[in-house]
Structure 1
């Protein structure tokens, strides 16, 4: 009965369920605008996206390709999450000037710190180019179709109109049923302005990650610089603060339950329209494998980080990155099970087939679900082997990751010749300096020992090279780390010294490279071709399935495109939730909760003395309310990775919060959004301003913002 009730809710789509979805901002007029206004929005769709006049989109750039940020002053002041700016904060940190531990605040423009390779990208306009991209593809087989589409995209990207400082980017939507052009402007001089200490910006660290109640001041400040014409330019001392087309006013009015919230940003990847068989594979096979690998890597790193401050600084960003999705996958699997996602999808598929039959479309769509079953069963061992290779070799064992880069370098020589090899080699030597800066041989050796045993014993045996068919992993590890030059930057550079033949011979004589090459070649020969062949069939099926869903769903159905790191709008309300029986979570947390969690000296739950003093005095200035200091709040906005740093905007277009996480019970929203438990977590802008002003004394930064709804004294 419970399953039937949930299915009815999904099919009927009442007002409460209308809060899911990630929508293209240029296509909000009509149903979306009506829904947003029914939830309390006072703006128009044109206020959110407008080509000819400034709009909200002009204040929301993509932050370094992975997060979102927002412009909050007329001088290009940029706000994003602490964890989004973490690499930059870490790169400027030393034992003597530990900005991770102590925070950083530039008290004038001259003190703002440049960041090589950091960039932010604005969207100038969005256009539908589906017809042009699909031209000449109607009768082609899948592989040739994909090739033709790529050729069309390449041609259109180069030929469609844009300004000289702009770029054209074409992205696919609805599994290849729609293509959109994004005309972008990328600014490459972005300087660090401010960051709270990690005891505020990362408060709760990995224990509280993906958890509510939350008490993290997850923010950092940067500034965009431009040339004298306000156009993108590489770093120069002559650059000036960027003048934005639009910046977000900051509201001190706060939030309460059922307030409208709009989150604008660049969600990374969702797969909301997977068939049930695919979700079942994620829950029962792929997620458990990835979780096990990262669990082992994290335990090793944590052991070293707790004992050595230098290692803690070296591994801080890496550890946070690994832990983030490790915990997400755990919550995702639990949420999918708790909400009966597989059973729900089976029921939805039954309803889908009924619509296919009713429309007389059996010939076109009738075999889709059986074809999905067949192909997902065939791809299962390849997908599992692929995930083990990705997690062990490419992401979590640095010696193997570096060695794989060298393997790719050797393939460049084999396919493109000596000149291409030498060009890539020089770039690799330069680029690896930063990698080795944060590399610790002792830590990585222990990680290798743990993960290589998992790889050898858990990855499908038929795909493994003979080098992994051993039982003495400690001996293997000691042999590789004592003999390979890859364990140091000096050794790495020595491997690449000399002419091409010398380098190739030296590489293939290195014990670490030999081992990594054997694993890579086994993967390239035994796994990748099989996976790619079956996945190509699944891609075609998914596109047809998506086309059928769009074509056959009732008019009131809300079919939004999966996230793909393009600019999206998601709207909802501030809302508490019930994570389990007899428990209700309020939607707002306060500084009282920080003090309740406080553990002196603990790397996750320590609290700065200055913050304790402000709390004891209740010295919150204009940012507190009724003697309390709000910290975070939650809403029903449908977010994912990439929405980190996204602005939470109120009904009138003012900034009220900064998105940084989701609740653990709802992390399955990448695959299955359930409005009863899916919540995004936002740091309250009043807490952000309180930390900048009262804690850090950087009042000049608040002064350049436009504050609205300021409480009366």
Structure 2
């Protein structure tokens, strides 16, 4: 009896340690909300049904959500295709329209009529038409045993392409298939991609980037991180290339905007395209991230950012050229720092080890089939992580340090021309390739400063040489280490940039003209090409084969591990890792305690902007117009307790790609735009903690205030559907009917130039 009692107690202890689907954790597939999440969401305050969030047959919230470009989210906020996203998501488009003379980055931009809305070649907005579980079709004919991962992936890709093509045959739609649960399931996504997206409005950087890198990934936050675009369509309201004859897109649904604000405990839904998470990573994967990969990447980016920062402050031209690049580099640099600290705070490696011990016991205590499938899994995973460790480090130093030098990236893009010449392809093919490369170089040189890049090279090349495991460092680079042991890498960089013909557009084009005529001598002998060729060749021959083989084996075993976890914990609701597909995350408005003795409130206001104001620091400059509005209390209907709300936090599980996602209340109304996470919660890509993870949202009332009162673009506000303000009532669904859209009646705002 005592033995049985001890066994029962042990079983209860093990069950209590198993990872559960904790409150507000998860990035859920909209297709499965009805069966997995609807009841829980409604318990937390959702007034809608799952069908009103995701529907194929009628307009639903999904029809107001787009993937903006390739890495952000946007939401439709008018029946004329007006699109709201983050300022940092539209940053590269704002930069592309900027110059020293027309500095829209610094001063902002507002189109006061349709003719002033600016086209953005290459920018897209992608709607999800429908999604479908196609696991059986994708895995048809794919062996479950006796096949290497690379061969399995080829079969999966062939089947996926066939499924996607069949799904859109005879339509104007596009389609793709994505793996879920590490390849245990596959889902089809049918999309409609719009190509004519025009810039409508963007606040000045002193609003859109207020707080800069100091406040990035931090709370409290006071950044007006938004920009506004518009989708245009052909005469049939279908996607069409840019044309001045295109008309504003008419969506199936646009989000009504609530003026009611938020309070602690209010339901929040984030609808968007989260990029990448690794929630089911093993302890060895966490350790690789925490102790190896992140520190190396942080060190390299820290060095690069210091160089760029100094040169951008010294030159307006360089500042505009490198604005988007700097922001991109800095964003994940700071995120990795926070992630590493967060994983340490949670003792993530030990927690994962405990979970793995429980899994191992479950595997070994099962029947013969279970033991055969899972008992040897974790030891094998550990071995492959040990094998790949040095190769992961070498890969990180190539991608971050060596190819973090733009001259190396450009030289690497020219190496295929040498391969073609060595293979003696017909001259017309070589000439065509050279011309294509030449055309593709225009954007590179437009945003390139050779003197700045030379300083970057002097800083990054020694990090690459010293950080790469010696056995995986090219002999060419080892010789440079010896040759410049006394004078240093700065001397090498000076010589490299003085002798290379790839540092200016004129001389690079001259080299390409020679290649087009069949003469590749100067390209082959260029010192930048020689260095890039040495680095890339060594990487492809000595690093990539072992790295690929080991990571393929890890992927195969990880897929089996995730399948085993789902068998081990049949009562747990599992969600697939983010992979840039449409997801729903839900939670509630809440403050948090970041450290002992410190408590953060759930919202910030315009008062905080004025408190942070510092005219000597570009990150905390406040526009004179904003200061004037604050002084005169010119807040209009956007006021709350005598000021204007700026941002709020909630417990939603988000990641990169959720930038620009609509944050929606329980009635299906827009209350804000997601733009960041708190620094203490950045480890949520690997390990979620409900007490520490918060998503940061721009309060929609601050966006409206800036557009209406600051910019004088009241015509844009009048285009939107506002609900919940004075003289109106909230829009509420009724028995599954289409969401009401109630206009707020108020005097038109005066438009100002």
- TM-score of the superposed pair, with normalisation by structure 1: 0.96
Superposed, 1:272-287 pairs within 5 Å as 272-287=279-294
Q: Does residue 384 of the first structure (1) align with residue 384 of the second (2)?
A: no
Number of equivalenced pairs? 706
Superposed, 1:274-673 pairs within 5 Å as 274-360=281-367, 361-394=370-403, 396-411=404-419, 417-418=425-426, 421-469=430-478, 470=481, 471=485, 472-499=488-515, 502-555=518-571, 557-673=572-688
Residues of 2 paired with 1:316 and 1:627: CA distance? 35
Residues of 2 paired with 1:504 and 1:549: CA distance? 56
The alpha-carbon deviation at position 602 of structure 1 amounts to 2.2
SS at match of 1:681: strand
Superimposed CA distance per residue, residues 52-106 of structure 1 (whole angstroms, 9 cap, x where no aligned partner): 1111111101000110000000000000000000011111111121111111000
Distance 1:173 1:492, change over 3 A: same
Deviates more, 1:684-693 or 1:510-519: 510-519
Aligned match for 1:58, one of 63, 71, 89:
63
Residues of 2 paired with 1:99 and 1:10: CA distance? 53
Match of 1:697 in 2: 712
Superimposed CA distance per residue, residues 611-656 of structure 1 (whole angstroms, 9 cap, x where no aligned partner): 0011111211000112021000111111111000000000011000
The alpha-carbon deviation at position 251 of structure 1 amounts to 0.6
Superimposed CA distance per residue, residues 433-490 of structure 1 (whole angstroms, 9 cap, x where no aligned partner): 1111110111100000000000001111111112212133122111110010111111
Residues of 1 paired with 2:219 and 2:721: CA distance? 30
Give the RMSD, CA atoms, in angstroms.
1.9
Q: Does residue 212 of the first structure (1) align with residue 219 of the second (2)?
A: yes
The alpha-carbon deviation at position 711 of structure 1 amounts to 3.0
Say if 1:7 and 1:344, in contact at 8 Å, map to a contact too: no
Aligned match for 1:116, one of 114, 118, 121:
121
Instruction: Show structure 1 runs of 5+ residues with no match.
Output: none
Q: Does residue 83 of the first structure (1) align with residue 88 of the second (2)?
A: yes
The alpha-carbon deviation at position 357 of structure 1 amounts to 3.4
Superimposed CA distance per residue, residues 582-602 of structure 1 (whole angstroms, 9 cap, x where no aligned partner): 111111001111111111142
Residues of 2 paired with 1:591 and 1:505: CA distance? 62
The alpha-carbon deviation at position 416 of structure 1 amounts to 10
Say if 2:65 and 2:272, in contact at 8 Å, map to a contact too: yes
Deviates more, 1:328-337 or 1:532-541: 532-541
Say if 1:314 and 1:439, in contact at 8 Å, map to a contact too: yes
Say if 1:496 and 1:503, in contact at 8 Å, map to a contact too: no
Deviates more, 1:578-587 or 1:303-312: 303-312
Residues of 1 paired with 2:311 and 2:56: CA distance? 52
Distance 1:226 1:145, change over 3 A: same
SS at match of 1:69: strand
The alpha-carbon deviation at position 309 of structure 1 amounts to 1.6
Q: Which has the larger radius of gyration?
A: 2
The alpha-carbon deviation at position 371 of structure 1 amounts to 0.8
The alpha-carbon deviation at position 275 of structure 1 amounts to 0.4
Deviates more, 1:99-108 or 1:137-146: 137-146
Residues of 2 paired with 1:257 and 1:636: CA distance? 11
Residues of 2 paired with 1:427 and 1:94: CA distance? 26
SS at match of 1:490: helix
Say if 2:434 and 2:516, in contact at 8 Å, map to a contact too: no
Instruction: Show structure 2 runs of 5+ residues with no match.
Output: 1-11, 728-745, 747-753
Match of 2:698 in 1: 683
Say if 2:138 and 2:156, in contact at 8 Å, map to a contact too: yes
SS at match of 1:656: strand
Match of 2:8 in 1: none
Deviates more, 1:136-145 or 1:255-264: 136-145
Say if 1:75 and 1:243, in contact at 8 Å, map to a contact too: yes
Distance 1:642 1:135, change over 3 A: same
Say if 1:162 and 1:168, in contact at 8 Å, map to a contact too: no
Say if 1:63 and 1:120, in contact at 8 Å, map to a contact too: yes
